[in-house]
Chains A and B, each alone.
Chain A
Amino acid sequence: MFKYRTHSKKLSLLAAALAIGCALAAPARAQDIKVGFNADQSGTGAAELGIAARHGFDLAIEDINKAGGVLGRKLVGIVRDDTGQPPKSIQNMTELIDSEKVVAVVGPTNSGNALAWLHLPQQKKVPVIVPVATATDITRRYTGEAQNYIFRVSMVDREQVALLLAYAVKASKSKKIAFIADSTGFGQQGVKDLTEVLAMHGQQPVAVEKFGPKDTDMTSQLGKIRDAGADTVVVYGLADANAQLLRSMEKINYFPVTLGTWGNMSTPLLNIAGKKLSEHIIFATSTAEDSNPRAIALAARVRERFPQMPTFVAAAQSYDSMMLLSAAIRQAGTTDGAKIAATLESGVADTQGIIKLYRKPFSKAEHDALAVSDFHLARWKDGKVAAYSDSITKSFTSADFKK
């Protein structure tokens, strides 16, 4: 009996503490407009992109509220970390939509997580803007439905492949291009995109090799690529494996023109491959820290909160996602998800973002705000990501970008 009593006392204390904690943690009031953020900020090799995106999201909300909020109400961001795990990401999504009753969601970091929960916001009519994940299918899965609720302001796999191959085709003197990719869905889907787009240029890869995402020695695969005579290699892997690939290139002293996805913008590449080797890989990105005054200003503000930020681009994309959302809510005059999505699609007012001025970024058929024309090449330079240009990038015309 006595035991039971102390227990219940402890429990009620705990409950009280929890109640106070919740009250402190969520200052949202009934009239506030809640927007969810659900992305990996700790688990996978892409977590740094998620952290940068979260700060971009927070800063956009800060700016919008400073300018008077939306519909006379304050915006409140509800941030969740899915640690890169699909089950956790689904759980976060359910919680944000059903319990927090968010108006819209910005996220996630990982394509696999997005593909795991796309049906939830789609069924519950909650618009989502994806600020990081790049899988082409994310924005296309529900194209056939009356209203597709999934939008994106980020790199798109098919589009970055178009840019990488436009460069590769011109850079390869021997017209011998090889692909090497990790054995995961990400890498293999990438090879599929690469092969299809290269065929549009009228070429076939001379070698297609695989490596495990945790492999540390790719000399065997590279040796075969060298024997095939390739002078240009496109790599589809995450930053840590790509760093090992660069180290293997050094080992066999074979340095073809090396191109990769924007995943190379993560510090593991720099830390594992070292400053000098990391400069060898050229990759696609949507914006660089120094590409315009707005980007410089936002980067400085994000750095105050996340000093070691390696990948500004995710912050810019996330900031722009939130700006487009708030413009759509304002224009729709309501927080109704269906109306917000319809407004985004049918022509949201011109919105000045960090990356560019968005003029009708979305339509019924196009849910990606950024395309190959918004992307450019970059590489690591002295420990920082810097825009890359040479005679080839300067000669690009829109005819070069096949997709």
Chain B
Amino acid sequence: MINLLQALLSGLALGGIYALVALGFSITHTTTKTLNFGQGEFLVVGSLVAVGTLLLLSGKSHTGVLAATDVSLLHYGLAMLVSLTALGALGVILYFTAVRPFLGSTGMSWVMSTIGFGIILQNTALAIWGPGSMAMPSPLGEEVLRLGGAGIRPQEILVLLVTAVVMLILDYVLRRTKIGKAVRAVAANREAAALMGINVAAIVVLAFVVSSGLAGLAGLLIAPITTASVFMGLAIALKAFSAAIVGGLTSPRGCIAGGFLLGCIEALVGLWRAEMREITIFALIIVVLVIKPEGLFGQKPFEKV
């Protein structure tokens, strides 16, 4: 019973990260019908920039080792600011260099160009930070909190809280504000939105900034749990993409639900047989794609004639 609770807690924390990255996929997909397949590498850059900033703030070299005292809440906040700014800027560059040239043209050029952009980022990070994994102590300390016999770390609670807050904010912005309506209008019909006086170009750039920023935020949040390393992106991005598919790529709420669902399934299958986790998750993806291609929470695409 304790094992079950423990698995659920661990699964929720991991699922929160999948959910954040999945949201990033959803946002660019709904506005431009493209995805940033380099999302995993954006997450890597987010966490490494944060680690680097924390190290520089502590007066160490950017490849040094962080001590627990180097990661105060203030420094973590500053690192978040730097990381999100850098990632937002990268989102703009990504859009103008790797997505816009191919928008509207048939074919899959943007798939290759976003993957390529990610590989460029990854290798740049490799040149700066090297291949090793870098530990980042949590700003909230490492003391394990006990919950009915199961343990959870403060950082994992932070991941859950931030995911919930980001979800609520995005939900509110998308449904209740003017800018959110503009985003949804662009998603629904670019030409019509442009005719209604919406600055489609600006909305699309914004979508990429938010999408990259979410990847960066995920990287920053997960680094104290998994350590930051150049090679951690792909596995997380693949699972996050799966979460988006399961939940529904067109539905932000679906992406969040998909993320948590996948995290929990992974942890629960681990209770049974650890080596079956990936098999189960990707088998589930195939099943969902066959039975409900639009995802559990997605809307069926329909064309009005």
A residues in contact (CB < 8 Å) with B: 42-45, 47, 183, 209-212, 214-217, 219-221, 223-224, 227, 240, 250-253, 267-268, 271-272, 274
Contact of B274 among A42, A210, A252, A253 (CB under 8 A): A210
Contacts of B68 in A (CB 8 A): 274
List the count of A-B residue pairs having beta carbons below 8 Å apart: 80
Residue on A nearest B153 in the bound complex, by CB: A251
Interface digits, B92-127 against A, CB 8 Å rule (1 contact, 0 not)?
Answer: 000000000000000000000000000000000000
Contacts of A209 in B (CB 8 A): 274
**B132, A47: Cβ atoms closer than 8 Å:** yes
Contacts of A44 in B (CB 8 A): 131
Interface digits, B164-195 against A, CB 8 Å rule (1 contact, 0 not)?
Answer: 00000000000000000000000000000000
Contacts of A47 in B (CB 8 A): 132
Indicate whether A42 sits within 8 Å of B226 (C-beta atoms), given known contacts A210-B274, A220-B6: no
Contacts of B231 in A (CB 8 A): 214
Docked Cα-Cα span, A47 to B130, in Å, equals 12
CB distance from A309 to the nearest CB of B (A): 14
Docked Cα-Cα span, A183 to B275, in Å, equals 8
**B144, A220: Cβ atoms closer than 8 Å:** no
Q: Does B135 contact A (CB under 8 A)?
A: yes
B residues in contact (CB < 8 Å) with A: 2-3, 6-7, 10, 14, 65, 68, 130-135, 137, 142, 144, 146, 150-153, 225-227, 231-232, 235, 267, 270-271, 274-275
10 further A-B contacts with Cβ under 8 Å, apart from A42-B130, A215-B274, A251-B10, are: A210-B275, A214-B235, A219-B151, A220-B6, A250-B151, A251-B150, A252-B150, A253-B146, A268-B132, A271-B134
**B2, A223: Cβ atoms closer than 8 Å:** yes
Docked Cα-Cα span, A212 to B274, in Å, equals 8
Contacts of B152 in A (CB 8 A): 251
Contact of A211 among B14, B135, B227, B274 (CB under 8 A): B274
Contacts of A221 in B (CB 8 A): 270, 274
**A217, B271: Cβ atoms closer than 8 Å:** no
Indicate whether A250 sits within 8 Å of B270 (C-beta atoms), given known contacts A240-B133, A271-B65: no
Residue on A nearest B142 in the bound complex, by CB: A274
Residue on B nearest A226 in the bound complex, by CB: B3
**B6, A219: Cβ atoms closer than 8 Å:** yes
CB distance from A43 to the nearest CB of B (A): 6
Contacts of A252 in B (CB 8 A): 2, 6, 150-151
Residue on A nearest B146 in the bound complex, by CB: A253
**B144, A251: Cβ atoms closer than 8 Å:** yes
Contact of A272 among B135, B232, B267 (CB under 8 A): B135
Indicate whether A253 sits within 8 Å of B144 (C-beta atoms), given known contacts A227-B3, A271-B65: yes
CB distance from B47 to the nearest CB of A (A): 13
**B267, A220: Cβ atoms closer than 8 Å:** yes
Docked Cα-Cα span, A268 to B275, in Å, equals 24
Contacts of A219 in B (CB 8 A): 3, 6-7, 10, 151
Contacts of A272 in B (CB 8 A): 133, 135, 227
Docked Cα-Cα span, A319 to B87, in Å, equals 47
CB distance from A229 to the nearest CB of B (A): 14
**A251, B271: Cβ atoms closer than 8 Å:** no
Contacts of B225 in A (CB 8 A): 216
Docked Cα-Cα span, A43 to B229, in Å, equals 12
Docked Cα-Cα span, A268 to B134, in Å, equals 8
**B14, A251: Cβ atoms closer than 8 Å:** no
Docked Cα-Cα span, A216 to B150, in Å, equals 17
Residue on B nearest A48 in the bound complex, by CB: B132
Docked Cα-Cα span, A47 to B227, in Å, equals 18
CB distance from B227 to the nearest CB of A (A): 6
**B275, A253: Cβ atoms closer than 8 Å:** no
Residue on B nearest A215 in the bound complex, by CB: B274
Docked Cα-Cα span, A43 to B130, in Å, equals 8
8 A–B contacts from the bound complex (CB under 8 Å): A216-B227, A219-B151, A240-B227, A251-B152, A253-B151, A267-B65, A268-B135, A274-B137
**A223, B6: Cβ atoms closer than 8 Å:** yes
Docked Cα-Cα span, A217 to B152, in Å, equals 11
Contacts of A217 in B (CB 8 A): 10, 14, 267, 270
Contacts of B142 in A (CB 8 A): 274
Contacts of A271 in B (CB 8 A): 65, 134-135
Residue on A nearest B222 in the bound complex, by CB: A216
